[in-house]
Chains A and B, each alone.
Chain A
Amino acid sequence: MSTPKLSVQLNCPLPKLDFDVITLGHGSGGVLTHRLLDTGVFSMLKNDLLNEQHDGAVVTFDGPVAFTTDSYVVTPIFFPGGNIGELAVNGSINDLAMCGAIPKYLSLSFILEEGLRMDEFWEVLLGIKKTSEEAGVPIVTGDTKVVERGKGDKVFINTTGLGRIHPKASIHANRVKDGDVILISGTVANHGVAILSVRQGLEFETTITSDTRPLHQPVLKLLDELGNAVKFLRDPTRGGVATVLNELAAQSGTGIEIFQRDIPISEQVEGACEMLGLDPLYVANEGIFITAVSPEKADNALNILQSFDSAAAILGRVVAEHPKQVILHSRIGGRRIVSMLPGEQLPRIC
């Protein structure tokens, strides 16, 4: 693979390290580990809690806390619109947001493969720094391990997030009732298609980029303004929109109907899905969410979502008929069931 094109300006240039690649020694806990952490990770991600360099971070919360964890194994680690580091930060921030929480702290744990190029590691770190700073969610503790070449795949990342539950939040699928309105915060299927476009053996020319981004701002705005009229929040990552809607139908015991013509999708992504034989409803996303709100607040919710992304749309509604089933009204006026994704459609997408 060629040198990755740096997506951010190096405001801290690659520090002078003794190695061009990660070696087993960097995970030994000894001198090399310290040098890597001091010159790399700590100096780049510095904040008061991380600067303690203790075994863990000590934090204080009032009231209920959301606690989430996720591992990232996407391949390739650099893809149009982001890299595995940005994905790992946004992913845990978004999981917290979907709980109705204000994201506060993240942990960051690397499993690096021996032989990973240092400049690639640096690029990933820069992505992490930029994303965490922009989102205002600091990384306060972490870990770095190295495995032998062939035992990993460049970089695996785990992030864990802590967030304070928004005082007005009451996010429970079982609060969703007949008549509630389902909204989506942006266009579907960008992430999965962007990853596929750079998968080995399938490279195709496209300007489609991953939608990886933090979603806590629009979510917190919804909660600030609409309070407990917001009943359900979930980001359709693996398994896509179809899977989230099925989860909602199953957990709430209601029926859901959506309209194919209302699904926001870019022309390019739709074209790529046609070419690859993918149903965009099952393709992974990393920067949109689905919400269910009381009908009288649907227009307010749409306005709020559209102030963040003009592609946000009302996707459908909750109905009393066909409980636990998602029905799609096709563009030509037919009806069909939208089922859960069986098995894995595209492995290692996040």
Chain B
Amino acid sequence: MKHLSEYRDEALTRQLLEQIHAVVTRPWTLMEVCGGQTHSLVKNGILKMLPEQITMVHGPGCPVCVTPIHIIDEAIALSQKPQVILCSFGDMLRVPGTKISLLEAKAGGADVRMVYSPLEAVKLAKENPDKEVVFFAVGFETTAPANALSVIQAAKQGVSNYSILASHVLVPPAMEAILADPETKVNAFLAAGHVCTIMGFNEYDPIAEKYKVPIVVTGFEPIDLLQGIYMAVKQLESGEAKVENQYIRYVQREGNLRAKEAIDEVFAVSDREWRGIGTIPHSGWEVNDDYARYDARKKFSLIAVASEDITTCIAGEIMKGKKKPFDCPHFGKGCTPEKPMGSPMVSSEGACAAYYHFSQAELLPA
């Protein structure tokens, strides 16, 4: 396919692998931040093609995985109000809350709908004026502009029966939290290409400098990932720690200014709890006071009840790069995509689901 096949080229792959083999002399641990990158690494069989000195660990960049259980409980509680139509991206439906998942709430009679875009939810609100449509706005910086736009559009069109349950998380503070952990093994990051498409990469310079880690903004196709790995390893081998951009075909240093304007219009930075990691200061967005009437938490007076994560899921360790899915005693046994015990096994971007679907025995240590 045009504009994709060149990034999935076998000859180029071999060439990049040779370059990586040639430059690496010592063991290094690289973290790919985004779950989409994890998925691509595993799906294309790249992990087994890399030199054994290079260990890839999988970062926190799976929005489904990091959404704390109490927010899922909030969404379920909302869905059970008779006047509410709860809209969500498909992946969130299967994530277990404290008692049930949204999919189980739907089976029990709640009006839960899967949508592909928040604008669809606004349309649904217009078509159902006697209902309250709530969009479960989960995601990183990547999905925030569209979610913000949905609120702006609803306001412009006078759609008052629309609101969002925001659970937005921000990547740079999470990367810093990982680096600040004294036990961290991460030597370099492949930063998430899509997030940087929106936000640019100015925010990474201070992190690279403070923690002396190379950060390479990287895309999602096999050639992108291999090139990103090569750039990061080359920096590590030569003792450098700077921010580089592999994903130049989409990412500019300043990011997408219009998208950032939409975000600034609707959201305000807040502290945010990350499932399995804990609360990270200034690591999320919530609907600001100007748009409070589109904030489902305020509209429905939801009270956040901290629910204890009672599962034995090691999501936190995995997302901090300390453990691999295979290190979990439940992987593939008690915990499978059909009956997930934790979120990394649910989402297509979750590290455990990626390992389960595409590798299983192949990646198991011998």
Given the interface pairs A332-B222, A334-B49, the reply to whether A342 lies near B338 with Cβ below 8 Å is yes
Q: Are A333 and B357 in contact (CB under 8 A)?
A: no
Does residue B105 face the partner (Cβ distance < 8 Å to A)? no
**Residue contact B338 to A337, C-beta cutoff 8 Å:** no
**B358 A331 Cβ-Cβ under 8 A:** no
With a 10 A CB-CB cut-off, give which of B13, B120, B358, B359 has the most chain A CB atoms.
B358
Is B8's CB under 8 angstroms from A274's CB? Answer: no
Does B336 make an interface contact (CB < 8 A)?
A: yes
Q: Assess A343 versus B115: contact at CB under 8 Å? Given A333-B14, A334-B45, A335-B48.
A: no
Bound form: Cα–Cα A182–B337 in Å = 28
A334 and B337 within 8 A (CB):
no
Q: Known contacts A274-B1, A274-B4, A333-B14: does B362 contact A339 (CB below 8 Å)?
A: no
Contact of A335 among B14, B45, B222 (CB under 8 A): B45
B360 interface hit (Cβ, 8 Å)? yes
- Give the residue of A274, A276, A327, A336 whose beta carbon is less than 8 angstroms from that of B43: A336
Known: A274-B4, A342-B338. A335 touches B362 (CB 8 A): yes
Residue of B nearest to A331 (CB): B8
Question: Are B360 and A334 neighbours in the complex by a CB distance under 8 Å?
Answer: no
Q: CA A334 – CA B48 in complex, angstroms?
A: 8
Secondary structure of the A contact surface, majority rule: loop
Q: Which B residues between 331 and 366 are near A, CB-CB below 8 angstroms? A: 336-338, 348, 356-362
Q: CB-defined interface of A311-350 with B at 8 Å, one 1/0 digit per residue?
A: 0000000000010010101111111111100110000000
Is there contact, CB below 8 Å, between B356 and A339? yes
B interface majority secondary structure: helix
Beyond A201-B116, A274-B1, A343-B338, whether A332 also contacts B10 by CB under 8 A is: yes
User: Across the interface, do A339 and B115 meet the contact criterion of CB distance under 8 Å?
Assistant: no
B337 near A337: Cβ-Cβ < 8 Å? no
Q: Which residues of B216-241 have CB atoms within 8 Å of chain A's CB atoms?
A: 222-223
A: interface residue count bin: 20 to 34
Interface pair A201/B362, CB less than 8 Å apart = no
A332 pairs with B337, CB closer than 8 A? no
Asked if A59 is an interface residue, CB under 8 A from chain B, the answer is: no
Q: Does B328 contact A (CB under 8 A)?
A: no
Whether the Cβ atoms of B359 and A342 lie closer than 8 Å is: no
Q: Is A202 an interface residue (CB 8 A)?
A: yes
Which chain B residue has the least Cβ–Cβ distance from A332?
B13
Bound CA span A343–B345, Å: 13
Q: Is the pair B1, A271 in contact by a Cβ cutoff of 8 Å? A: yes
List, in ascending order, chain B residues with CB within 8 A of A276's CB.
Answer: 116
Pick the contact of A342: B1, B42, B222, B337 (CB < 8 A): B337
Q: Counting CB contacts under 8 A, is A270 at the interface?
A: yes
9 example contacts (A-B, Cβ-Cβ < 8 A) are as follows A202-B116, A277-B348, A325-B360, A331-B8, A331-B44, A332-B222, A334-B48, A334-B222, A335-B45
16 extra interface residue pairs, beta carbon distance < 8 Å, beyond A330-B44, A331-B10: A201-B115, A201-B120, A201-B124, A276-B116, A331-B8, A332-B8, A332-B10, A332-B46, A333-B45, A334-B46, A334-B48, A334-B222, A335-B362, A336-B45, A337-B357, A342-B336
